[in-house]
Amino acid sequence: MKKAVLLIAALLMVGSLAFAAPGFGIWGRTEFQLAGGMEGDDTIYQGWGPTWSSIGPRMGIHTTYSNDKMEFKTTFYFNGAIWQAQTGWPSDAFVEIVNMYGTLKFVPDLFSMIVGKVDGDGFDTYRKNTAHPTADMHNANVGRMRGWGLIFVIAPADTGFDAALQLRTPPPDNNGRYAYDIEEQVKNISLAASYKVEDLIKISAGYVNYGDAGDAYASVATPDNANKNIFARVELLMVPDLTLWVDARFFGFETDVFNMEYLLYAGYKMDALALYLGVGLGVADPDILGLRATLEVTYNLGFLTLGAVLVYVDGNLDVDGMDMSIRVYGLLNDFAVRLAFEYNMIDMGGAGETSSWSIPLYFTFSIW
């Protein structure tokens, strides 16, 4: 018996040396409207806010298992509004499998391969969003590789260079057959690369294909003609405490409407005070010019951060109408709980104006 116990202990010790301990984390964000109202309506509303559009409260579970040869990652999200509509055991719509993939580290610090499904916060090496604490912006998630498939990654250590090639394919059909022939597969390749000079500049560029209309893995956040994107990004790194970058994406190649969208971001921290500005400019054939901007200012008091946000959106500068919101908030830093007052005004041009107000309480859970 003693020999068996010693043998088991030895095996456990060897196993602990060969394999890293699994990583486990949770993440969730939602909001509860303490009070809210709309112009022309005397009702005061209370309840869950529209976090994550129509899916309501969203909570997630993340797991990672890794050693020096391979890694496996899963991300599950649980969506509250869809759960409310279900009866019995929740459907696949309630439990959203965002990431489930393995990484094979064939040549450490040089070459690896990702196998499986990737999506939000999965392989986001070439995606960029602004560092606004409460109102970040991104350029339609351009640079994010998503869907089922293979991703080949080359990242030589200490060179500043990395590149990735994705072969994205929906899973087999109900008969177990492949969904694409080789010609279709070639059309769904995504390719991106970046080069960084430390403390000076970083340049990224690529072609990301999110599929055609009707494809199960086509983008749901952008029009069909936005699913094939060429993008480029420049980040300046030479000024301490300053974050400054601009990116551009070009899409609509397969249609008669060619579009461009640019996003400029600048952020600067001065001890307790921080400023964040993001400006997006959209250009669509033939003469449509749109603008969106977010300005956020914060002041950190240690246990509490005070902030103010101004958001402006105008989808067509040649047509009357725009959306604007003003938000002020206090954030309990140790608990990621934020109480805000928000006022939103919508100018619908000839149709008049309308407004709304709310006092939301935001919750963010992040434990790793």
Instruction: Give residue-wise pLDDT tens across range 15-39.
Output: 444 445 678 898 888 888 999 999 8
HSE-up of residue 234 (Cα within 13 Å, Cβ side): 4
Q: Name the superfamily (CATH) of residues 23-367.
A: Porin (2.40.160.10)
Coil, helix or strand at residue 169: coil
C-alpha distances (whole Å) from 363 to each of 48, 144, 175, 355 are: 11, 26, 44, 25
pLDDT at 320: 80
C-alpha distances (whole Å) from 88 to each of 84, 149, 245 are: 11, 32, 48
Condensed to tens digits (0 to 9), the pLDDT of residues 215-272 reads: 444 443 444 455 788 999 999 999 999 999 999 999 877 676 778 899 999 999 999 9
Condensed to tens digits (0 to 9), the pLDDT of residues 194-216 reads: 999 999 999 999 999 876 544 44
Q: Which residue has the tokens 């946000």?
A: 309
Q: Which residue has the tokens 């790194």?
A: 237
pTM above 0.95, yes or no: no
Domain boundaries, the chain: 23-367
Closest CA to 221 of 143, 337, 141, 158: 141
* 302 compared with 11, residue with greater pLDDT: 302
Q: How far apart are CA 218 and CA 215, in angstroms?
A: 5
Going through the chain in order, the beta strands assigned E by DSSP cover 23-38, 41-48, 58-66, 70-79, 95-107, 111-123, 145-154, 161-168, 189-197, 201-209, 228-236, 242-251, 259-270, 273-284, 288-300, 304-314, 322-332, 337-347, 353-367
Strands 70-79 and 111-123: unpaired
Q: Which residue has the tokens 């929740």?
A: 90
Contact status, residue 334 vs residue 318, Cβ threshold 8 Å: no
